């Protein structure tokens, strides 16, 4: 278990750029080979633990490592138990947090996550999954319940699998994490210490690995500081229907989805209230040789405190990798548009049910409300277990009559003054790296410096710096 450096964190005021650079450049000493598309994945176990079938380990000849003894514990017949977990340590530092438009302006701290997984397969059809965790924050000023929780049943559900004609149907009932599609709009909030979880019913159907369909009804859980005290703490309701089809297998996929979110205490402009928001959307994604693409688009309607909602959002990411060139450089571009309110009675601010602010940057300085983004980047793969990304991310307000929003979906009301009608928010200079020294360990780092634009400076804000270093052990 990582040991928190409490005293060191109290003394640190900001993350020195040379320290970040040293951590990012160390992995360059590895062996050169092709790396996978840059992402913060889970190494040798790219799926979540509850999506991995370890039944093949019943054959001792297929056990290749010491962890296999935990992943398959035979109980007789088809029954077996899988044990796993995660230990994650993050070191964060922020200077002029929230553009210095609210306190604290400087914050340096550690976040620590400890999870233990129990996956009991009673037979080939019935299973029970439980995940228990503790989440700690050291040195953070004003930590929230997404930073620390002294004990929590993160997940606990019953799973039933049955064939239905050509389809394999899986039903999960109980507390569970939910991510859908690209996870742009429905995400588990992994960059925070405490991930988002739901008390939910989810039915998933997979037809010959070509068509997938999900039906979900949930009550999103609100984390509490005290141990095991969130069994009846929820925020509204979430419902979803999500369909995905491979039109050209392994090349071109099309998704369609509908989300419903009742959100208590939503914030837009200078308003706070309850909303009922519907989202209709689609996704095109796939790859062809060295070219990869992924696009989401969605229209939203509903009501916020009785006012109508009409909002639109879209985001596209493309990557072309020069596979035969040394370090296999990739040219990536991401462009996004998420609408804002125009000053009338209609709420035009796009708001995803469970947004992924790390879509913009892992540090999550900005979020997916009232923003236009252009983000060209260079991706380098010097070794098979290391990837590096560098580029400028340029941001504007979609509507100058709406606020600049920061993570998580919080409006900076100072940007709503009559003197601040500027569109340009600023440019984020971002360096990101990921190193996987062994299949179970991922080291990740990101440093961001923002050149503040007039949308920020006219409100009295200042340029911001932020950095994170993360070590994640999954087993």
Domains of the chain and any CATH numbers? 6-474 (2.40.160.100)
- Across-strand partners of 435? 386, 443
The radius of gyration of the chain from alpha carbons, rounded to an integer in Å, stands at 22
Structure tokens at 96: 């002029």
pLDDT bucket at 150, cuts 50 / 70 / 90: very high
pLDDT exceeds 90 at position 145 = no
Question: Could you give the CA distance from residue 204 to residue 176 in angstroms, rounded to a whole number?
Answer: 14
> SS3 breakdown of the chain: % helix, strand, coil, rounded to 5?
10, 55, 35
* pLDDT number for residue 105: 87
Model pLDDT for residues 28-63, shown as the tens digit of each residue? 333 332 233 344 334 344 568 888 899 999 999 999
Helix and strand numbers, DSSP H then E, in the chain: 4, 21
* pLDDT number for residue 46: 53
Region 66-77 average pLDDT: 93
Question: Could you give the CA distance from residue 141 to residue 19 in angstroms, rounded to a whole number?
Answer: 22
In total, the chain counts a number of residues equal to: 475
* pLDDT number for residue 208: 83
* pLDDT number for residue 388: 92
pLDDT exceeds 70 at position 27 = no
Mean pLDDT of the chain: 88
All residues at 6 or more sequence positions from 324 whose CB lies less than 8 Å from its CB, including other chains:
none
- Give whole-number Cα distances, 271 to 275, 402, 412, 413, in Å: 11, 11, 12, 10
pLDDT exceeds 60 at position 371 = yes
Share of the chain above pLDDT 70, in %: 90
All residues at 6 or more sequence positions from 269 whose CB lies less than 8 Å from its CB, including other chains:
341, 349, 402, 403, 411, 413, 416
DSSP label at residue 221: B
Model pLDDT for residues 191-228, shown as the tens digit of each residue? 899 999 999 999 999 998 789 999 999 999 998 888 88
138 upstream amide cis, omega within 30 of 0: no
Structure tokens at 212: 């997938």
* pLDDT number for residue 425: 96
pLDDT exceeds 70 at position 462 = yes
Model pLDDT for residues 153-179, shown as the tens digit of each residue? 999 999 999 999 899 999 999 999 999
- Residue carrying structure tokens 């995660």: 86
Region 306-315 average pLDDT: 96
User: 103-112, 187-196, 275-284, 359-368: which has the minimum mean pLDDT?
Assistant: 359-368
pLDDT exceeds 80 at position 340 = yes
Region 440-457 average pLDDT: 94
Structure tokens at 343: 């000053």
Region 94-99 average pLDDT: 91
pLDDT exceeds 90 at position 409 = no
Model pLDDT for residues 344-362, shown as the tens digit of each residue? 899 999 999 999 988 888 8
Model pLDDT for residues 262-277, shown as the tens digit of each residue? 999 999 999 999 999 9
Question: Could you give the CA distance from residue 67 to residue 45 in angstroms, rounded to a whole number?
Answer: 12
* pLDDT number for residue 152: 95
456: enclosing H helix or E strand:
helix 454-457
- Across-strand partners of 86? 115, 474
Question: Could you give the CA distance from residue 238 to residue 251 in angstroms, rounded to a whole number?
Answer: 31
């Amino acid at each position: 278990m990582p040991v928190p450096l409490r005293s060191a964190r109290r003394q640190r005021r900001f993350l020195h750029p040379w320290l970040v650079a040293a951590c990012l450049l160390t992995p360059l000493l590895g062996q050169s080979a092709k790396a996978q598309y840059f992402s913060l994945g889970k190494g040798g176990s790219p799926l979540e633990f509850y999506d991995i079938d370890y039944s093949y380990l019943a054959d001792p000849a297929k056990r290749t490592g010491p962890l296999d003894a935990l992943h398959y514990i035979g109980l007789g017949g088809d029954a077996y138990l899988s044990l796993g977990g995660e230990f994650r340590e993050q070191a964060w530092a922020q200077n002029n947090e929230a553009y210095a438009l609210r306190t604290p302006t400087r914050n340096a701290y550690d976040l620590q996550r400890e999870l233990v997984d129990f996956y009991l397969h009673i037979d080939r059809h019935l299973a029970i999954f439980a995940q228990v965790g503790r989440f700690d924050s050291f040195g953070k000023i004003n930590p929230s319940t997404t930073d620390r929780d002294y004990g929590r049943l993160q997940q606990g559900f019953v799973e039933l699998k049955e064939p239905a004609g050509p389809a394999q149907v899986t039903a999960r009932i109980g507390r569970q994490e939910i991510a859908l599609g690209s996870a742009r709009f429905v995400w588990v909030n992994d960059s925070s210490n405490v991930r988002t979880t739901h008390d939910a019913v989810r039915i998933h159907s997979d037809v010959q690995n070509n068509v997938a369909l999900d039906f979900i009804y949930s009550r999103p859980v609100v984390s509490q500081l005290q141990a095991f005290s969130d069994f009846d703490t929820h925020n509204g309701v979430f419902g979803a229907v999500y369909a995905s089809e491979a039109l050209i297998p392994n090349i071109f996929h099309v998704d369609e989805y509908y989300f419903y979110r009742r959100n208590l205490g939503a914030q837009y402009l200078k308003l706070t209230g309850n909303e009922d928001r519907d989202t209709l959307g689609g996704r095109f994604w796939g790859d062809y040789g060295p070219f990869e693409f992924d696009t989401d688009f969605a229209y939203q309607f509903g009501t916020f405190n009785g006012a109508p909602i009409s909002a639109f959002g879209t985001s596209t990411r493309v990557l072309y990798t020069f596979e035969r060139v040394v370090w296999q450089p990739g040219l990536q571009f991401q462009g996004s548009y998420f609408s804002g309110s125009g000053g009338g009675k209609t709420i035009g601010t796009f708001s995803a049910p469970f947004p992924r602010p790390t879509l913009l940057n892992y540090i999550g300085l900005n979020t997916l409300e009232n923003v236009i983004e252009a983000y060209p980047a260079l991706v380098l793969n010097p070794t098979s277990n290391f990837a590096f990304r560098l580029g400028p991310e340029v941001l504007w307000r979609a509507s100058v009559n709406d606020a600049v929003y920061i993570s998580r979906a919080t409006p900076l009301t100072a940007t709503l003054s009559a003197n601040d009608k500027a569109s340009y928010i600023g440019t984020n200079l971002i360096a990101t790296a990921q190193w996987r020294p062994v299949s179970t360990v991922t080291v990740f780092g990101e440093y961001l410096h923002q050149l503040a634009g007039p949308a920020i400076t006219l409100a009295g804000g200042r340029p911001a710096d932020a950095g994170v270093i993360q070590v994640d052990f999954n087993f």
